[in-house]
Amino acid sequence: MGDGVIGNTMGFGPIVEGSSPSPPAINFEMNVSGVILAAGKGTRMKSNLPKVLHSVSGKKLISYALEVIEDINTKYVVVGHEAEQVMEALPESLNFVIQEEQKGTGHAISILLEDKKFANDTSEYILVLPGDVPMINSNDIKNLIKKVTDSSSTIGFLTSKVSNPFGYGRVIQQDRQIKIVEEKDCTEEERLVDEINSGIYCFEKEFLLEQINNLNTSNAQGEFYITDLIGIANNEKKDIVIVQVEEDSIRGINSMGQLNEVEDALLKQTIQQFMDEGVYFQDPTSTYIDSTVKISAGTKVYANSHLKGETEIGPDCEIGPNAQINNSKVGQGSKVLNSVVDDSIIDAGGQIGPFAHIRPGSELGENVKVGAFAETKKSKIGKGSKIPHLAYVGDAELGTGVNFSAGAITVNYDGKNKHKTDIEDGAFIGSDVMLVAPVTIGKESMIGAGSVITKDVPSKALGIERNNQKNIEGYMDRKKKND
Ligand code: UD1
Ligand code: CA
């Protein structure tokens, strides 16, 4: 990794090893406004959804760029294709600028500069990010801003040397001349250059205002390219800073194939980070974890586990094999084996599965067990309660220490409305019981196996609803004779 300053006054700057490992001590937001370009259609995605709204490892593609410029005070987003949909999906605090017709990245910048929202902009520098480069790292951005502002350069941009530069703009440097040439405009020779443009730039605002109207569309795509500003600055003998960064950090997403590549790379990063923090993985190649997920040290994640969305796994848990956990919290020491957990909370010591389905709105207290072929939905289940097998608990509130035996269910739906079942502390629900809601089962009561309970059961009572059993003596012998 190296970087340097190219220009008339400074010549080639010193090559500095690597980009800063820790953020440089600068006031990030000082003097710098940020703009994310997100107006493009994303034609190569072959999808109706605007590109920047595609989910990448559990987050909208554009959220990654937004996070990176979080500390910048003034943020603009250029939207165009499906602008309404994109704006609706993003925070209102952003300054949206509409690029009605998408005539290229340079055109997007000219639209920004002409917009009345930009008229009061007080910054000296403009940081430009594409909306489709999710692995950008904020240290690299801070480093870029620092290098440009410290050297009072006109432009700085991030580049990377990559194994497969196909599709990216190439950074062509010759005899102190520098320009960016798009894949489609490259000569055979230029195509072999392996240093690519990230699409991430820090521009002096004055320069942008002066030169933006000097872009033209004489290129293979007939678009105004922001990248031509590099060549223009070079011709004007302005100082240009290049900061080389890791290949992964500037991977762009233009197609489903690249979306998959980025998710792969993000996943590797995420798992490596968790391993560094003391999380065990049996098989990272069959484990899928969104970049939004949190896992604490001491937890073991077994093969074929999928952890998605805003999921948080506490310490010392055992997850999987074959666990799928979406937007849920799992407390310390819990086990989730061969089960699906959606939008729920499991307190410490939970034992889930094998083959349980914890559906949205389940809140399981400490040491709750939900075992094989049991399902819970929108229910609060108190500390130490057990639903060990073959049961359904929906729209219910169970106190502490409740035993909910095999085959028992809450009959929560009358075909029109959902009703609630209340089961108080220490109640024992026998096997194959139907609790027809709304109904309350009192504290420390017992329900006889096979009962269909339609009336409340008082505390400490036995609720039983069952015909008397008849035994017909000698029946089988008589039957045999008649056969
Ligand atoms: C761009 C760069 C290329 C670089 C690559 C890095 C240009 C001409 N090329 O190519 O050098 O290697 O990014 O990923 O800039 N957009 C608009 N309005 C438009 C066109 C695009 O807002 O009129 C937005 C897109 O939504 C996207 C970003 O600008 O977020 C980049 O556009 P895209 O078409 O993806 O450019 P690339 O071909 O990837
Ligand atoms: Ca792109």
- Tell me the CA–centroid distance for residue 253 and ligand 2, in Å: 6
Among residues 203, 226, 208, the alpha carbon closest in space to that of 216 is found at 226
Q: What single letter denotes the amino acid at residue 394? A: G
- The CA–CA distances, whole Å, from 284 to 33, 225, 320 equal 39, 41, 12
309 contacts 292 by C-beta, under 8 angstroms: yes
- Structural domain contains residue 115: yes
- Asked if residue 21 has a cis previous peptide bond (ω within 30° of 0), the answer is no
Note whether 290 and 186 are same-domain residues. no
The whole-chain average pLDDT of the chain stands at 94
Q: 239, 151 in Cβ contact below 8 A?
A: yes
Nearest C-alpha neighbor of 203 from the set 241, 160, 166: 241
400 and 348 in a common domain: yes
Question: Which residue has a Cα nearest atom 34 of ligand 1?
Answer: 40
pLDDT, mean of residues 452-456: 98
The pLDDT of residue 470 is above 60: yes
| Segment 469-478 mean pLDDT | 96
Mean pLDDT of 218-233: 97
Please check whether residue 264 lies inside any domain of the structure. no
| d(CA 251, ligand 1 centre) in Å | 12
pLDDT band at 2 (very low <50, low <70, confident <90, very high): low
Pocket of ligand 1 (CB under 6 A): 37-40, 78, 80, 99, 102-105, 107-108, 130-133, 168-169, 180, 182, 196-199, 225-227, 252, 254
Between the alpha carbon of residue 348 and those of residues 221, 343, 345, the distances in Å are 58, 17, 10
Sequence length of the chain is 483
341 in a domain, yes or no?
yes
The 10s digit of each residue's pLDDT in 271-323 is 999 999 999 999 999 999 999 999 999 999 999 999 999 999 999 999 999 99
3-state class (DSSP) for residue 394: strand
Domain limits at 112? 4-250
pLDDT of residue 11: 38
Does 389 participate in catalysis according to the annotation? yes
- What integer pLDDT is reported at residue 175 of this predicted model? 87
Same domain, 117 and 226: yes
Please, which residues have CB less than 5 A from ligand 2, an ion?
A: 132, 252, 254
Examine residue 273 and state whether it is found in any structural domain, yes or no.
Answer: no
Residue 481 lies in a domain: no
Residue with tokens 């004055």: 206
Q: What is the pLDDT of residue 27?
A: 54
Residues 311, 204 share a domain: no
Rounded to whole angstroms, how far apart are CA atoms 376 and 339? 12
CB 35 within 8 A of CB 95: no
**pLDDT of res. 14:** 30
Query: What tokens does 178 get?
Result: 């520098």
Q: Is residue 483 part of a domain?
A: no
How many CB atoms lie under 10 A from the CB of residue 31? 15
Would the pTM count as exceeding 0.85? yes
Q: What residue owns the CA closest to ligand 1's atom 14? A: 252
Query: What domain count does the chain have?
Result: 2
CA distance 458 to 446: 10
CATH of the domain at 445: 2.160.10.10
Residue 78 or residue 41, greater confidence? 78
User: 102: CA distance to ligand 2 center in Å?
Assistant: 14
Whether 315 and 230 share a structural domain: no
User: Residue 12's pLDDT band (boundaries 50, 70, 90)?
Assistant: very low
Q: Which atom of ligand 1 is nearest to the CA of 132?
A: 30
| Per annotation, catalytic residue among 54, 81, 107, 389 | 389
154 and 43: one domain? Answer: yes
| CATH code of 111's domain | 3.90.550.10
Q: What is the pLDDT of residue 8?
A: 44
Helix residue spans in 69-199 (DSSP H): 83-88, 105-114, 138-150, 188-191
Ligand 1 pocket test target in 35, 85, 105 with most atoms within 8 Å of CB: 105
Report CA Rg, the chain.
31
